[in-house]
Amino acid sequence: MQLELTGKKALVTGSSRGIGRVIAELLVAEGCYVALNSRNASEVLAVVAELTQAVAVVGDVSKPEEARRVVSEAISAMGGLDILICNVGSGSSVRPGEETYEEWQRMFALNLWSTTNTVEAARNTLAAAKGVIVCISSICGLEVVPGAPLTYSAAKAALHAYVRGIARPLGKDGVRINAIAPGNVLFDGSVWSRKLQEDANSVQDMLKQSVSLSRLGTSQDIAELVAYLASPRSMFATGAIWTLDGGQVHS
């Protein structure tokens, strides 16, 4: 399928490693100009050095003023913006029942404000381009996943409500927004990489019992769906949460 992404200008937040990096690499392969973002300058510059048609924009988009600067610098560097991929997030938090005010604030900043800040900063430019937004979320926002931090799950559930709710006002401007809710994804440095090293048999048992396809997902799995949702091939899709978990969620 031809995705018709050649020449499109994309900003991918949180893209120096893991899922975000693979998304950025795939968009470049599809012909996009891509601005990669990270709080870590050395990491994102090292990734950009390996790519063509890519620039680095350093900043913490969980902070409103930095999100505005990141978006502005990306637009200036590329000469516009057609695609926004909101990938910043983290599931590392305290165990259920150990939440504090400070931890709630930290997790909502990473997993919700990072998206709302960036969307608000990019909205006018995306409207002019009739652009598209794709948010990377989690199945933890869809149902209770045993052992998952409550702070993370609540923030991702709020992200889903935001995507569904903002779709209509964005749609009036010709902008589409969708979210992808991945299940268990394996990449270098991920929690599943660590768990496989610690006890591969337990991981395989969990997959057989809980996941229809009995395997972990990959960053490439996520990136392929991102590319489709970012492309004109998905022009009728907006305000949706796309579950991509190998058949784990039951609700």
- The arithmetic mean of pLDDT across residues 117-122, rounded, is 98
The answer for residues whose C-beta is within 8 angstroms of residue 26's C-beta and 6 or more apart is 220, 223, 224, 226, 227
CATH code, 158:
3.40.50.720
- Asked whether residue 233 is domain-assigned, the answer is yes
Start-end of H helices in the chain: 18-29, 41-48, 64-78, 101-108, 114-129, 150-172, 191-210, 219-230
The confidence score (pLDDT) of residue 206 equals 86
146: in domain: yes
Calculate what percentage of the chain has a pLDDT beyond 90. 87
Q: Is residue 197 part of a domain?
A: no
What is the band of 22 on the pLDDT scale with cuts at 50, 70, 90?
A: very high
pLDDT at 146: 87
How far is Cα 84 from Cα 117, in angstroms, rounded to an integer?
A: 12
Let me know if residue 40 belongs to a domain.
yes
Respond yes or no: is residue 162 known to be catalytic: no
What would the mean pLDDT of 17-45 be, rounded to a whole number? 97
**Does any domain span residue 16?**
yes
Establish if 212 belongs to a structural domain: no
Predicted local distance difference test score (pLDDT) of residue 147? 86
pLDDT of the residue at 178: 99
CA distance 152 to 89: 9
Which residue segment(s) compose the domain that 66 sits in? Answer: 9-188+218-244
Residue 104 has pLDDT above 80, yes or no: yes
- The per-residue pLDDT for 191 is 76
* pLDDT tops 80 at residue 1: no
- Asked whether residue 128 is assigned to any structural domain, the reply reads yes
CA 178 remoteness from chain centre: 10
Rounded to an integer, what distance in angstroms lies between the CA atom of residue 118 and that of residue 50?
26
Average pLDDT over residues 162-171: 98
pLDDT value at position 208?
92
Its pTM stands at 0.95
Asked if 122 and 109 count as a contact pair (C-beta separation under 8 A), the reply is no
Identify the residue whose tokens are 């598209």: 132
Give residue 163's pLDDT: 98
Condensed to tens digits (0 to 9), the pLDDT of residues 168-196 reads: 999 999 999 999 999 988 877 777 778 87
234 pLDDT exceeds 90?
yes
- Looking at the structure of the chain, the number of domains it has is 1
The residue from 33, 101, 152, 228 that is catalytic is 152
Task: Say what the pLDDT of residue 187 is.
Answer: 79
- In sequence order, the 6+-apart residues with CB closer than 8 A to the CB of 243 are 139, 142, 181, 183, 249
Q: Provide the sign of the torsion angle of the four alpha carbons 225, 136, 143, 196, taken in this order.
A: positive
How distant, in Å, are the alpha carbons of 67, 69, 99, 192 from that of 39?
11, 13, 25, 23
Is residue 205 in a domain?
A: no
Nearest alpha-carbon partner for 112 in 124, 120, 122, 100: 120
